[in-house]
A = this chain, B = another copy of it.
Amino acid sequence: MKLAILGGGGVRIPAFIRGVLASGAAAFDEIWLFEPDELRRETTGRLAVELGAALGQPGVVRLTPDVEEAFSGADFVFSAIRVGGDRARVIDEEVALRRGIVGQETTGPGGCAMALRTIPVLLSYCDLLARCAPGAVLINFTNPVGVITQAVSLHTSVRVVGVCDTPSSALDRLARFLGAERDRVAFSYGGLNHLGWITSFAVDGEERIGALLDRYEELARFDHVFAAFDPALVRRLGAIPTEYVYYFYEPARYVAAVARAGASRGADVERLNSELLDAIMTAFGAGGVNDAWAAYSMLMGVRRDTYMRTDTEGENQQAAARARRRAAGPADPGRGRPDGGRPGGYEGVALQVIDGLTGRSPGEVIVNTRNGASLGFLDQDDVVEVPALVHGGGVAPLAVGPLPRSARGLITQTKQYERELVDAAVSGDAGLAALALALHPLVPGVTVAREMMSEYRERHGPHLAYLR
């Protein structure tokens, strides 16, 4: 079984490679990392390859600047590209934040600009993939996952599954909070990527959502992800929103928090990633894979520890995270995690999809896929984020029970924005792109949408030059 990874030099790749090889989570004969950027190949790319060898599986991980080589004969392709790099993300966020509007990687104007840069590039990779490996399944993590998956689903012949770990991670956390075994849980979840709600959570057939809502303050203390929401609002909804819904429920609080912090998450990540590549380069110069892994895992840990802190708390808390991580000492690349090192995050979800589709372990996975009849208030060909049975025959969405009405309203509007945005990207129509943006619930009107779109086109130069 061959896996190809678009964006093979991404900063999460070494951790994924280590996890998948150490745990035997999936049986890949070859993992091809496609990375056009030389610096990335020499740092994260090299680290990934050498980790393979350190784990006793030399030759499995391969690095290439040639996408056709990566695609050829692939069974699965991961897409984790970032067109324009971290710099573009900073611009995406700034243009919105300057106007007091949510400036965020995936939600609102930032996600819109990112999608516009990405769709033409990914569609052209899909054309190539359809020729090189017609049966391959594309597992998309590229953000904004919902929009990108929608574009591939409507405009290519490639089989695509969009993956994000936000909802499954929330469910895991709820199970931990209740002390329940995760596989005795029956839940109801639905919406779009980064805009989904959990409306039912039953353990051994007994509904516990009421208990979770009643004890929401306690839950928020147990896990800070839930602390972003007003407990009374959550109780009134009768449903637990997943973390990115924060940008819809608290846009003004978010904008104020970023202003207080002095820098957006994008700016922090840009700095962290730059430091990371330098550190890996230095480590390879001085020592070898062990030093590189130590530097890598420390900085990735800081990144993880500070996730959403700026947005909800108004400071990035990097200093504290660094101190904690340094005190914990270096990680050993050969030592697995308590769970055997099976990759978590979205790569973990992707492996579940692969295990389902190959028939190795069919089961329920929350994915971004064509709606069919899953959410009755959306269209059949809308891409939605819902639990699906993933098995040898494919991906079959479950029937999702009723969502809160206000959630249906937000989802309906946001899906329409997504569909219009895909139309704009595919037609290369800048005016349509501005109108799409104007329909986003977080954008205060057409006039300001047109202004932002102009600014994005100016500042993103060649990446948006196709819009006319």
Contact = CB atoms under 8 A, between A and B. Distances in A.
A414 to B, nearest CB: 8
DSSP class of A's interface residues: helix, strand, loop or mixed? mixed
A405 B81 CA distance: 31
A438 to B, nearest CB: 6
A363 interface: yes
A172 to B, nearest CB: 13
A404 to B, nearest CB: 8
A249 B445 contact: yes
Copies of this chain assembled into the complex: 4
A431 B232 contact: yes
Interface residues of A, number: 74
Contacts of A446: 230, 233, 249-250, 253
Interface stretch (A33-41, A181-189, A336-344): A181-189
5 contacts: A186-B391, A204-B393, A398-B399, A406-B413, A409-B412
Interface stretch (A114-122, A313-321, A371-379): A371-379
B412 A405 contact: yes
Nearest to A447: B253
A252 interface: yes
A428 interface: no
B183 A393 contact: yes
A122 to B, nearest CB: 20
Interface in A393-417: 393-394, 396-402, 404-406, 408-417
Contact of A445 (B186, B252, B417): B252
A417 B406 CA distance: 8
A132 to B, nearest CB: 17
A124 B22 CA distance: 55
Given A186-B396, A393-B185, A432-B236, A445 B362 contact: no
A354 to B, nearest CB: 15
A392 to B, nearest CB: 4
A56 interface: no
A159 interface: yes
Contact of A435 (B232, B431, B448): B232
A308 interface: no
A439 interface: yes
Contacts of A230: 435, 438, 446-447, 450
A205 interface: yes
